[in-house]
Structure 1
C-alpha cells in the first residue's frame, strides 16, 4: 500500500507544516513508513510552496509523488501547476476562495471538494492561519489515511506551545467537515 499526498499553495499558508504533521502521524503514531519532501520559491511568504508525503506499509523506494492519490490546493498557482499530476479518482481538496479559475472537465475525473477553508478557519478559531490544520482534519477524516487519534497527537506535538487549544479546535472542525465529505454531504 503506497499512498501519495500532495500539498500545495504559497508560502505562509502552512503547506510544509501540514505535510510534516501528516508524515509524523503516519510514522510515529500509526507505525507506517512515511517520507516528506518539500520545495518552495525563493520568497518565504508568498512564493510557491509544495510538499509531498508518501505513506506505505513497507519501505519506501522513491520519496516523491508520481501521481498523487490525494491532493490539497491552497492557491490558484498551485492548482494550475499541479492539478493534472493527480491520478484519476484522486481525492482532492481545493481552497474555493483562492482558486477561482478551475478545470471542470478534468475535475469530473476526481473526487473533489471545494470549500472556503480560510474563511471556515477564521470563523472557527479567529485565525485564518489555522486553515492548514483544519484541512488536515478534513483530509484525514475523509480519506482514512491516518486515524483521528494519530493526527490529533501529531498536531499537538507540532504546534507552538500555548496554541494547542486553538489548533485542536481547527482540527476538530476539519474532522467534522471530513465526516460530511465521507457521507457525501458536501
Structure 2
C-alpha cells in the first residue's frame, strides 16, 4: 500500500454511507492498527440530497484529513456520481449502483457496475443494509483492509439483534464484487 489511500462513499442522505465510512475507518484503525481519518459532507436537505463520506487510510500519520486524489469511489445515485465521482486518480476505481447510475462519469479510472440496493433488498432481505453491502463491495474492490477486519468492525458497530443480517449484507457485497473483478 502506498502511504495514503483515499476512498469516497457517495449517495443520497439517509443511505447510511457516512456510517459505512466510519466502519471502514474503524476496521483500519482499531482492528488493523493503521492510521485512518473519516470526514463527511452532505447538503442542507440531509435526507435525500447528495452526501459523501471520505476515508483516508495510511501506514503513516495523516497530515491532511480531506481526500485530494481519490483511489476508490462509490456512487449509489446519479446525483452523487455527477457531483462526487471527480478527483478519482488515474488508474483509480469507481463502483456504481448499476440500477441508479445510468450516465457513467468518464475518466481515466475503471468503473465497476453492481446493483447494490437491489442486492440488499432481494438477496439479503432488507434494503436498509445497502450501506453494509456497499462496504463489503468496497473492501473486496480495494483490499484496503482484510475481509475479516471489515466484518469485525461491522459487528462491533451494529446492534446485536442485527448482527447476522449485517454480516450477511457485508459478505454478500464482498462476494459479489470479488466475482465481478475475478
Q: Same fold by TM-score, threshold 0.5 exceeded?
A: yes
Please report the TM-score for the alignment, with normalisation by the length of structure 2. Answer: 0.94
Hey, what's the Cα distance between the residues in 2 that align with 1:164 and 1:133?
11
On the 8 A contact 2:85/2:94 being kept in 1, the answer is no
Taking the aligned partners of 2:4 and 2:165, their CA distance within structure 1 comes to 32
- Superposed, 1:33-72 pairs within 5 Å as 33-72=35-74
Shift, 1:177, TM fit: 1.4
Q: 5+ residue gaps in structure 2?
A: none
Determine helix, strand or coil for the equivalent of 2:85: helix
TM-score by length of 1: 0.92
When structure 1 is superposed on structure 2, of 57-66 and 113-122 the one drifting more is: 113-122
2:95 is matched with 93
Asked if residue 24 in structure 1 is aligned to residue 33 in structure 2, the reply is: no
The answer as to whether partners of 2:96 and 2:111 remain within 8 angstroms in 1 is yes
Task: Tell me the C-alpha RMSD between the 2 structures.
Answer: 1.2
User: What does residue 10 of structure 2 align with?
Assistant: 8
- Quick check: 2:114–2:177 contact (8 Å CA) kept in 1? no
In the alignment, which residue of structure 1 is the partner of 2:114? 115
Aligned residues: 180
Matched, 1:178 2:177: yes
Offset, 1:178: 2.5
Poorly superposed stretches of 4+, deviation over 4 Å:
none
Offset at residue 141 of structure 1 (A):
1.7
Distance 1:17 1:180 in 2: 25
Cα 1:88–1:64 shift into 2, 3 Å: same
